[in-house]
Amino acid sequence: MIGKMDYMELDRLAQKIIKGQKLTDDDLRQLLSLTEEEDIQKLHYIAGKVRDHFFGNRVFLYSFVYFSTYCKNNCAFCYYNRCNDIQRYRLDMKEIHSICRALKNENIHMVDLTMGEDPYFHSEPQRFVEIVRTVKEETGLPIMISPGVMDDRTLSRLYESGADFLALYQETHDKELYAKLRVGQSFEERLHAREFAKKVGFFVEDGILTGVGNDIESTIKSLRGMQKNEPDMVRVMTFVPQEGTPLAQVDQESSLSELKIISILRLMFPDRLIPASLDLEGIDGMVHRLNAGANVVTSIIPSDSSLEGVVNYDRELEERDRDPKSVIERLKSIGMEPASQADFNKIIDNNSIRSSKAPVVML
């Protein structure tokens, strides 16, 4: 399809996507099969045009707060799964207060409060509700929660306490693969939590992994699965093998497949939020992901923080280099800049990203 197109034709294709043209499964198959560097660059080019139409050169920044690394689950891909014999931490209220003070000066649009499925919070969800309320009151910032699967009543209370986004990644919408990744966890309950959260008023993020045994057909299943639930934010992350886990010995794929899928996500979800995570390849990787069509930088962690990431590309490095200042400097060097808080709040206040009739246009 795009291999033979010149740049005028690519521009026309971008315009069609902007006006609502949808990709067929055959289109997805062809795009996922691209291997030539030049063709992949063309795919990134179209995705960049579509992103620029809806968001211009403005990028949203999310600060990542992994406040408890305890977990009762056993995900085969995850460093924090309950069987891994690692050092864990859980922040207390005093530490949460001190993080709130730091967050206020951080130049970020949203705080992402993430935890493992820590029994301390999951058996008494009120404890988590208190954290959300505190962070909201003290920072006044929009809040994303990434707590794993929580019941309907808790989700409602979290929303009422100030949480705006729920991030809950299915990892794959291919049930067979899911069973191998999220070992012992219900596929349907995870789906339900996102569906219910959306009904309550949350903005919802879904996501998939690549490089975990997903072939092209399985990836198409996942892309269509994500589409069905109309998420407000969609992500793909390359699986990074973690020491001490069942998948530790799997070879890590290059980021090429992730970059292709980011562009495809942009074509399938033209006006949605798509992140470039710093957790995988740091700030250099962020640039590639933005060039592929992403419009949010996630996993920002202040340089003096001892909080962990999820994949932690920088576990062995001395300098973390994923603080807001470094991110903004690099954005500027590639002709991009942080959006204003008002731009981000507009998404939340108008619920405009939800309504396909009124996409967010910020040019």
What are the beta bridge partners of residue 300?
A: 63
Q: Provide the minimum distance between the beta carbon of 112 and ligand MD0 in the complex, in angstroms, as a whole number.
A: 5
Q: Provide the minimum distance between the beta carbon of 298 and ligand MD0 in the complex, in angstroms, as a whole number.
A: 3
- Phi–psi pair at 63, nearest 5 degrees: -90, 135
Q: Is 299 in the site for ligand MD0 (CB under 6 A)?
A: yes
299 binds, among ligand SF4, ligand MD0, ligand SAM, none (CB under 5 to 8 A by kind): ligand MD0
Q: Provide the minimum distance between the beta carbon of 308 and ligand MD0 in the complex, in angstroms, as a whole number.
A: 9
Enter the tokens of residue 323.
């603080």
Stretch that binds ligand MD0, among 9-17, 22-30, 242-250, 273-281 (CB under 6 A): 273-281
Q: Is 277 in the site for ligand MD0 (CB under 6 A)?
A: yes
Distance CA 223, CA 207 (A): 9
Handedness of CA 341, 287, 354, 140 (dihedral sign): negative
- Phi–psi pair at 338, nearest 5 degrees: -65, 140
Q: In the chain, at which residue ranges do the beta strands (DSSP E only) sit? A: 58-68, 110-115, 143-146, 165-167, 203-210, 233-238, 275-277, 296-300, 337-338
242 binds, among ligand SF4, ligand MD0, ligand SAM, none (CB under 5 to 8 A by kind): ligand SAM
Q: Is 298 in the site for ligand MD0 (CB under 6 A)?
A: yes
Distance CA 298, CA 262 (A): 14
81 binds, among ligand SAM, ligand MD0, ligand SF4, none (CB under 5 to 8 A by kind): ligand SF4
Coil vs helix vs strand at 148: coil
Give residues 46-105 in contact with ligand SF4 (rule: CB under 6 A): 71, 73, 75, 78, 80-81
Q: Provide the minimum distance between the beta carbon of 90 and ligand SAM in the complex, in angstroms, as a whole number.
A: 13
Distance of CA 98 to the CA centre of its chain: 25
Enter the tokens of residue 57.
């050169």
Cβ neighbours around 141 below 10 Å, total: 23
Distance CA 154, CA 125 (A): 7
Q: Is 207 in the site for ligand SF4 (CB under 6 A)?
A: no
Specify the residue, 2 or 231, whose C-beta has the smaller distance to ligand MD0: 231
Specify the residue, 116 or 309, whose C-beta has the smaller distance to ligand MD0: 309
Specify the residue, 22 or 315, whose C-beta has the smaller distance to ligand MD0: 315
Q: Is 218 in the site for ligand MD0 (CB under 6 A)?
A: no
Cβ neighbours around 301 below 10 Å, total: 23
Residues in contact with ligand SAM by the rule CB under 6 A: 77-78, 114, 116-117, 146, 148, 167-169, 171, 207, 209, 237, 239-240, 242, 310-311
Specify the residue, 32 or 280, whose C-beta has the smaller distance to ligand SAM: 280
Surface-to-core class of residue 361, CB atoms within 10 Å of its CB (0-12 exposed, 13-18 middle, 19+ buried)? exposed
Tell me which residues touch ligand SF4 (CB under 6 A): 71, 73, 75, 78, 80-81, 116-117, 148
